[in-house]
Structure 1
Amino acid sequence: MTMKLRSFFYALTAGVVMLLLLAGGGWFWVNAHSPLTLLQEREVKNPTAAIFVPKQAPAMISLLVNPDRLAALQQVVVEPQKRGRAIAQFQQLENSLLFNLGLDYQRDIQPWIDDELTLAVTSLDVDRNPENAAQPGYLLIFTTNEPQAAQEQVYSRRMSADSADLVVESYQGVNLTYQPSNPGGKKVADDTESRPIPDTLTSAIVGDRFVLYANHPKVLRNAINTVQVADLSLAEDPDYQQLLQSLTEPRIGFSVVNLPALAAWISNQPIPNRESFEASKSLALTLSLTPQGLLAQTAIPRSKSSLEPITPVLSQPVGALQYIPAQSALAIAGVDLNQFWRQLSTRLEADENLNSLLNQGIAWFKSRWGIQLPKEIFSWVEGDYALSWFPRSDGPNPDWIFVAQRGKNDQAIDGIEHLDIVAQQQGLNVGELPFADRTITAWTKLVTAKALKNRQDGLLSLQAQVQGVHTTVGDYEVFATSIEAMDAALNGVKDSLLHNPRFQNAIAALPTQNDGYLYINWLESQPLLERQIPIVRVVELIGQPLFDHLRSLTITSYGVNQGVQQSKLFFQWVDQSSS
């Protein structure tokens, strides 16, 4: 059987992610008499297959529910006219996952698979030989409650297909089955030492519970060594256990990654000198189903030197959101932007790449607007604030709305006046204009324009082009990049995010005590994000089952507990919000 195993395992990674995303279809219309209980389960499951994964593994991702239950749930919750498409999605996914293995899901896997599927990148180089190209090690683990049926599939079908060259190797009491990379003693090329070791699909059954596949016998031998020596296993690692304890939501999916090693793998960069699992360099994520949507919980450990708890700063939604229109494509809200910036800068000092990326963003803003964000805006915003990306009906580029609490803070008042001075230094005219029942400050630029059609003299006229406006409303200063955006902000008090039922649904599953929100209105922001950030199209392609139903995404962090930074992401569905 000819297989392109590397392509298979890349496809498998995307497939497992898609299974988790397809699970997000299960959010609605499941009544108390339904045999499908995924939405009612409260068990906190952990990947049992982690006992085979070394603690230095770059990445592990697990599906913690039987795929058939997800498929059945999808059929219950999807509208009748869309069920055919949902069935086709699952069948296409099953075929793409197992095609290169020569397996058929319904025939070869469904009779014995239980409730866990785990995929791990166990090493960035299987043979750790610097003289040849790096070959990652991939390990795929199924759990089974039908060991006899699993044995028949793993051995009987492979024996019938590959009996001519099949090898059955006994290792530590476990039979490894594989086809040698050089069957029949065929001569290999002289430059083999410069190439990665060949992919060789290897399978094994361990005990009566686990079915393992790998892309080389060495990967399975290492997995067996790992399970027999507890100190080698990810499951027994104290840092890994700390992550598990901090993730308390019931879950259908779990993932943990070693960030430096994973970044090296994705970017094809040199392998880190130390591929060890270190809490300060790791990220864990769970996915859970709720009646309202799909909830993700993340854990990012802080460094060992900063284990003191950090309490969330908010206990209710940010007041500045009352001036953010409900139609906003994107909104960010929080409190004390000055302190947040100081904390972020301190944390990124040790990370050269992220620090450089942040500085590039600051430099771009200065070149575009002539404003030094940290000094001229962040420094005086110590109350609550909100930032909005507001779509325009007359052009592709959105408007911006920024709201900051000013109160009686002299520093805030001075900071706002200083922005008018900066605008003048940029060659803009600063003046006051009547607007509805108030006066606004406008930053304008004089530009030439063609004469009106009914003018016969062909003379050019001067027009004042608005670059930005701001005004004081109660305890807040509202900034906008156009008159239209300012009008939407001031009228937004009647139809603002703060009072919008869809936004209230979007934050209902998130902790009441938090550090603020990042809210993406997917229905409004999709065209803008696709145009401004091309990689969004790639993400959409991978997660199509999710984005087909997505209305909004809301993200919040809620402090540091026992040295772990905790955050949640909530995916709100169109059907739920329109019900």
Structure 2
Amino acid sequence: MSEKKRGILNPVIIGAAVIVAGGVVGYLYLKGVFSDATSPLASAKVVPDEALMTGMISTDPKAWGQLQQFGTPEAQAAINKGLNDFNKQMTAESKIDYAKDIYPWLGSVMFAVLPSDPNQPSKQNLLMVVGIKDKISAWNFSNKIKSQIKGQETDYNGVKILETTGSSGKTYSAVLNDHLVLAPERKAVEQAIDTFKGQPSFAKKENAASILSKGVDVQNTLAQIYIPEYGNVIQQLIASNPNSPPLPPQSLAQLKQVKSLVMGLGVDNSGLRMKAIGKVDPSLIKVEYKPTPGKVVAQFPLETIALISGQGISRGWAAVVAESQKNSQLQQQLDQYRQQMKTSYNLDLDKDIFGWMDGEFALAAISSNQGFLAQFGFGGALVFKTSDRQTAEATLAKIDAIAQTNSITVAERNVQGKTVKEWKLPSQEILLGYGWLDNESVFVAVGSSLIDVMVTNSNSLDGSESFKAIAGSLQKPNIGYFYVDMDKTMSLVNRNLAAAQNNPIPAEANAILTSIRGIGMTATQPDASTSQMEMLLALKPKTK
């Protein structure tokens, strides 16, 4: 009897277990446990392949919360005010509470830029793709929206499209399994439905799957942008803008060889960091990549406000000359420049100007409150490193001779054992000067005060805390730096605005700008087909 009962009960128990398990699986499915809807690749599968580019915006509050470690109280207040105003506007229109109504089901947010309507080329055509991580919460939200906002549903290819009207105009939306698609134009939603039903998607474009899967490695990602066919995108954007001049066929051909570009923005302990990776045809790279030694930065003083450095101007010029052999228009322009330099100044453009600039170089803006620079608060300086000092000196002598024919006096002066040549105006004001810092480094500086600063330079830029904080964390080796000290820059801006008696910078904008410590940027080339760029918006630590 007991054996028979066990035989009868076993199927019942097994069946009940199957039903319970099925219910659990179904519940977990609705809760999004098995869904990959939040990945860039999954979202791109409902984006039409006509899209020029896509981007993902992070919905992770922890990533955005990292920004709380930066900024003055004024900057934090300005940001919080903006967020509060946005929430109030959303609540006023639809009584939506982001934390309660949207966040529980919001998995990801992708935006896609579609080609503009030829009849309205200036109007952006955007499609939003929102990943649904919790279908139950999304269902509850949908019911709440329908009860509050009047809309009209229509059918397209077996899918319901909801049309709603708000203060900003009409919005069209549709649910495609694990994704909600929205757009201000109905056609964009229809294209997304067609893609969902089997038409070619953005995810199937060449290079798309790779960049969508890998992205860019940044900490606490806030956003990523994906452009799998960079050259074609640029061509279409130019074609859609009637005011853009047509590109020469050679330039267009080069752009099309740029295979893909992906960019990422994140937050780390230094501030906001952006990285970009471009894949190109190696045959396009005309200038051989050589990382800079980085020594030229040390030849600029602590008072440096901003700097751009690099290496091998002569190699870049040689690449332009080589390219001109295939481009008659470019060759004609170069020949005109050569002729003008020869006729007007008796200078050989290839040899006298660019030929000896084969080492590192840097251009900088430097603080100064002396002489005629006092009215501006800064002046400029250049440093060139060269392996051909003889040609460089011969060129500078020719330029001195040209200056002397234009009422400028050229005189020598000794500064701490170094000979510098200075150009004096008829008023005896020193316009600029130049000299050799060592056997391979020649500098040119505007104003007598900067000449002395460049020669003496007891405290160099590369040893400053500001430069180390802003540029020190950028990837190395690299091709050089773009560097801005924001404190020194804002000091000049505020001073010049006050002197000009213009309206001051608005308080909120000023609060944001003064929370930025500086900007650093560089680039590198890890292999023949890859170019990388990195930029840091260095932010000041939060103060009480």
Report the TM range for the smaller structure's normalisation.
0.7 to 0.9
Which region of structure 1 is more displaced relative to structure 2, 279-288 or 91-100?
Answer: 91-100
Cα distance change, pair 540–111 in 1 and its aligned pair in 2 (3 A): farther
TM-superposed deviation, 1:391: 3.0
Report the residue type matching 1:176 in the other structure: I
- Residue 185 of structure 2 corresponds to 216
- Number of residue pairs matched? 479
Structure 2 matches for 1:82-481, cutoff 5 A?
84-94=77-87, 104-106=97-99, 108-114=101-107, 116-125=108-117, 135-162=123-150, 166-172=152-158, 174-179=159-164, 200-207=170-177, 209-229=178-198, 232-241=200-209, 243=211, 247-250=216-219, 251-256=221-226, 258-262=233-237, 280=258, 283-303=261-281, 305-306=283-284, 311-314=289-292, 316=293, 318-343=294-319, 376-393=352-369, 394-396=374-376, 398-407=378-387, 409-446=389-426, 463-475=427-439, 476-481=441-446
TM-superposed deviation, 1:464: 0.9
* Contact kept? 2:207, 2:260, Cα under 8 Å: no
TM-superposed deviation, 1:480: 0.4
- Residue 60 of structure 1 corresponds to 54
Instruction: Report SS of the residue matched to 1:575.
Output: coil
Which region of structure 1 is more displaced relative to structure 2, 381-390 or 236-245?
Answer: 236-245
Which region of structure 1 is more displaced relative to structure 2, 92-101 or 234-243?
Answer: 92-101
1:13-51 Cα shifts (integer Å, max 9, x gaps): xxxxxxxxxxxxxxxxxxxxxxxxxxxxxxx97464222
The CA distance in 1 between the partners of 2:298 and 2:464, in whole Å, is: 10
Report the residue type matching 2:201 in the other structure: S
- Residue 453 of structure 2 corresponds to 488
TM-superposed deviation, 1:53: 2.6
2:523 is aligned, of 544, 550, 557, to: 557
Report the residue type matching 2:54 in the other structure: M
Instruction: Report SS of the residue matched to 1:313.
Output: coil
TM-superposed deviation, 1:485: 0.9
Cα distance change, pair 323–220 in 1 and its aligned pair in 2 (3 A): same
TM-superposed deviation, 1:138: 1.6
- Residue 26 of structure 1 corresponds to none
The CA distance in 1 between the partners of 2:97 and 2:122, in whole Å, is: 31
Bigger Rg, which one: 2
1:47-106 Cα shifts (integer Å, max 9, x gaps): 64222333432343321242x335544445566786554432322345568987885534
Is residue 484 of structure 2 the alignment partner of residue 520 of structure 1? yes
Report the residue type matching 2:446 in the other structure: T
Cα distance change, pair 155–261 in 1 and its aligned pair in 2 (3 A): farther
The runs of 5 or more residues in structure 2 that have no matched partner are: 1-37, 228-232, 498-502
TM-score (norm: length of structure 2): 0.73
Instruction: Report SS of the residue matched to 2:111.
Output: strand
Instruction: Report SS of the residue matched to 1:252.
Output: strand
Instruction: Report SS of the residue matched to 1:516.
Output: coil
The CA distance in 2 between the partners of 1:346 and 1:95, in whole Å, is: 60
TM-score (norm: length of structure 1): 0.69
Instruction: Report SS of the residue matched to 2:429.
Output: strand
Identity of aligned residues (%): 16
Cα distance change, pair 291–124 in 1 and its aligned pair in 2 (3 A): same
